[in-house]
Structure formats: C-alpha cells, structure tokens
Structure 1
Amino acid sequence: MAPSITIKVVENEDERFKAMLVRAIVYMHEQQCPYSEEFDLNDHTATQIVGITPEGEPVLTARVRYFNGFAKIERLSIRSQYRGKGYAHRLLRFILALCRQKGFSLFYLHAQARLADFYQQYGFRVVGAHFTFSDHDYLEMVLHDHAEQQQPSYCIGTAPMLLNRPENSPGNAGPLERNGHAEEGGWRQAMMAKV
C-alpha cells in the first residue's frame, strides 16, 4: 500500500526547501540536469506545490506560473521510490483544481516526450514542435478545459477580504475575515448590470 501523503501549496521555508530537494534529486541527480538549467528566478514568483508523508518526508513537487489567460505547469517531479503509486495523477488533479479555482481553463506545459500519454489521459494535446534540453526530448502540450469554464471562486467584485485569503486555502476564511473585517462586495453586480 502506498504511503499517504499531503499535497499542498508551499507555505513556509521548510516546505519550499523540501520542494527544491525533490527537484534536485529528480532533475540534477537522476537526469543529470545542470543546476543553472533547473533553478531560476521563477522559483521566487511561482506557486510551489509539495507532497509530504506524515513523517515529513518530501515525495513530489511541481510549480505553477500564471499568465494572461493560462496557467503553465512546470517542474512536476516525483522521487523514484514513490513512482507508480498514483501520486502523479493526484498531483496533476490538485494543480488543475487549484488553477480552476482561480478561473483558469487553459493549461500549458512542457512534457518529456516519454510522458505524453500520461498528460493525454487528462485531455492535453501536443502543439508546436518537439524540442530538447538537458538531453531530453520535450513536447509542448495544451489543455483547453471548455467543460470546466466557470466563474472563479474569487474575483474582483466579490467580498474584498476573499482576495486576501492565503494562496493555499482560498476556500477558508483568512485572518482579516476571522477578525471581523469582512465586507460584502455588492458593487460587482451593479457594475455587471451596467455592461
């Protein structure tokens, strides 16, 4: 039986370190990717995801960057001893759900060519040309999730404090809401009525 893990958005430096450690093991050690190609300034601005066992052992990671109209899924990696246990499916579903909560329905990624079938199970399709870096063949893949297009769970015009919620738990009240600073944002309906 596969050990239980918690997949979550990184909240602190310990979790960030664990995410980076998984990437170093998978990309630098296993795939011999140079440090200069694996870690970049986007690590400071991307949403980092980590999967951890109850004992605190890092298992998997990925990061997400948000662009105008689409989310880019990057650096999805799982330590070798945890592969084949369904964690990649859990991780990808977690990422897609997180991005859908933010209103994204268009997803983009660079997949190693050998993993294209995995992403195609979720509706991703190959676009563009094949390319190579760090001695691995990659494909550009896109998922346009028409069926999942929906109003984001929080957006301009909703109650103002919703936009102050922590990245890792947009469905839960943030500290300002818990301290009685919540306001109802009704101007969105008025604004939309004028359009």
Structure 2
Amino acid sequence: MSPTFDVALVPFEAARSELHAVRETVFIREQGVPASIERDALDPLCVHVLARSQDGTPIGTGRLTPERRIGRMAVLGDWRGRGVGEAMLALLVEAARVAGWPEVSLHAQASAIDFYRRNGFLPSGPRFEEAGIEHQSMHRALAGPAAVEDREQATAMLLGLIAGTRRTLRIYSRELDSGLLDSSDVVGALRRLAVRGGETRILLQDPDAPRRALAPLIGLSQRLPSSFLFRAVEDPVDLAYPSAFAVNDADGWYFRPLGHRIDGEGRIDSGPRARELRNSFDPVWERSRICTEFRALGI
C-alpha cells in the first residue's frame, strides 16, 4: 500500500503558513498554549520538518533548534496513530546525525513520553511544567552508546529495543531482573511484540528465583507459549558470566557489565555491537536446557 502522507525538511520562510497552521491547531487551540509562547524568534534559525497528506494538506510539524533540541512536534488529531510522528521524528534525528551532533534532546509532554521511549529517547531529571503542561526532558545519543544510569532509563532503553524488534528479541538475565522485566510497561510491550508475531528468548542463570517470585513473564509465557522461550544456563563457564544484556534482531542493544546492577549503556541503532551480542547469546542458548518447570507452573 502506498503511503498516505509525505514528510520532508522544508525552509521556514517558504513553509511558514503551513507550519503555523498545524501548530496553531494543536498547541494554541487544542492545548491552550499562548500564541506569544508558541511562536518565537528561534523559528527562522531552525531546521523544520513538515508532513503533508497526499492532497498537500499540512498535517504535522517538528523542528530542530540551534540548541540541538527537537521541538514543536505536532500532528493533527485525525492523523495521530498513523505513523506521522514516527516519520517526522526519524527525519529530524537523521538531520541531527548528518549535522554531526553527538546527541539530540527534547522536552516531551507527559502524554508523549511513551512515544519517545519507543523511539530511543531516555528520560533525565524530574518532570517540570512548561506552558502549563507537564514535561520530561529526554535525550538520544547519536554518535555513541547512551549511558543508562537508573531504572527509568533502563525501562526506556528496553522499550526502544522491543519496539524495534522485527522478529526475535534475546535477553540474557541472571534471574529475570525484578523491577525491570516485571514492570507493567515492559510486560505490556513484550505482550504486544508477541501479538504481532514476535518471539522473546530469555536465558537465565537462576530460574528458581523468578519462579518463586511468580514473575509475570512466566505467567505470560504460559498464555503465549510459542512467543516466550526460557532456557537455563548450566555450563560452569556460562554461569560465571557476570554481565546481562538485551539485543534485538535489528540494531538495538542494552548491555550491563554487572548483571545484578541496572546501570550500563545501549543504543537502538548500532549494528556491529548488536551482532556481537547476538553472536555471544546464540551458542549459550544452544547448550542451555529448556525451562520445563516454567510450563508446569500453575498461575
């Protein structure tokens, strides 16, 4: 099916009226942002993206500011949930990469945090109010891996990996990472991956701990047995492996040098490191035993 919209970088002066038409509808009329705040002196200095429907009607906007920040992301109501935001964001991220920026940041409205997490952005700092709306500062590394320093960032990184998985997600964990792999956001994302035909392979060093804790992923795997596969590491060399990681079958990975800690680093778009981790995972998977005890657990 041909796309129903087009997305392109546009010069501000030539597209001023179209950009403002979308932003006025979304920010000023819909969200009540004062016009004096919505329109600022940065506009002529920014790189702008504009989405248009097939008949040429403007339906979405976004911009890159000189402060290396993405902003003014707006999509008309009838077009939300149809991939317009993702397409605009991808084009802005690529423009920032071409410009040589090491990272790009943004202030996400609270209602859009999940959208940005799925697209590789990590939260930083507390939430704050801007133009009367709750926001969260977020950033995405472009030139190297992003540092993951706390559970919120770990969750965001994992959600980005799950969203980018084409068919198979691989997870190497000590004991199913309580507080991360049992969070409602992550479990929900893994369920959605399963529903769209994806498979999650999980290697565990200690399968008894999550079984005793009634980990929600075990229950989910019983309902969707063809989508969730668990194996237990038994080789002494494998059991001595100190790290933990998740890697998808695209270019995304999240690596923790010490598996009992949450801090580490990751990216959603680094192919060589992703291939390295998949090549590390697969031989261990082949020589590990199937967790048949998970199938028998009645929850």
TM > 0.5: yes
Assess if the C-alpha contact under 8 Å between 2:63 and 2:71 holds in 1.
yes
Equivalent in 94, 99, 102 of residue 105 of structure 1 = 102
Cα deviations by residue, 1:72-96 (Å, 9 ceiling, x for unpaired) = 1011000001111011111111111
Which stretches in structure 1 are left out of the alignment for 5+ residues? 149-195
Match of 1:123 in 2: 120
Match of 1:95 in 2: 92
Return the offset for 1:142. Answer: 1.1
Q: Which amino acid aligns with 2:97?
A: R
2:15 matches 1:18: no
Bigger Rg, structure 1 or 2? 2
> Tell me, what secondary structure is at the counterpart of 2:124?
strand
Alignment RMSD: 1.9
Pick closer, same or farther for the CA change 1:14–1:4 going to 2, 3 Å.
farther
Pick closer, same or farther for the CA change 1:101–1:37 going to 2, 3 Å.
same
> Tell me, what secondary structure is at the counterpart of 2:66?
strand
> Tell me, what secondary structure is at the counterpart of 2:126?
strand
Distance 1:104 1:146 in 2: 7
Cα deviations by residue, 1:49-74 (Å, 9 ceiling, x for unpaired) = 1111232200100111133xxx2101
Q: Which amino acid aligns with 1:73?
A: I
> Tell me, what secondary structure is at the counterpart of 2:42?
helix
Equivalent in 132, 136, 141 of residue 144 of structure 1 = 141
Assess if the C-alpha contact under 8 Å between 1:2 and 1:85 holds in 2.
no
Assess if the C-alpha contact under 8 Å between 2:124 and 2:137 holds in 1.
yes
Return the offset for 1:4. Answer: 1.9
Which stretches in structure 2 are left out of the alignment for 5+ residues? 146-299
Pick closer, same or farther for the CA change 1:23–1:2 going to 2, 3 Å.
farther
> Tell me, what secondary structure is at the counterpart of 2:62?
strand
Pick closer, same or farther for the CA change 1:133–1:3 going to 2, 3 Å.
same
> Tell me, what secondary structure is at the counterpart of 1:139?
strand
Residue identity over aligned pairs, in percent, reads 28
Assess if the C-alpha contact under 8 Å between 1:16 and 1:48 holds in 2.
no
Of the two structures, which has the highest relative contact order with CA contacts closer than 8 Å and spacing of 6 or more? 1
Distance 1:44 1:18 in 2: 14
Return the offset for 1:128. Answer: 2.0
Work out the number of aligned pairs and report it: 145
2:129 matches 1:132: yes
TM-score normalised over the length of structure 1? 0.68
Match of 1:193 in 2: none
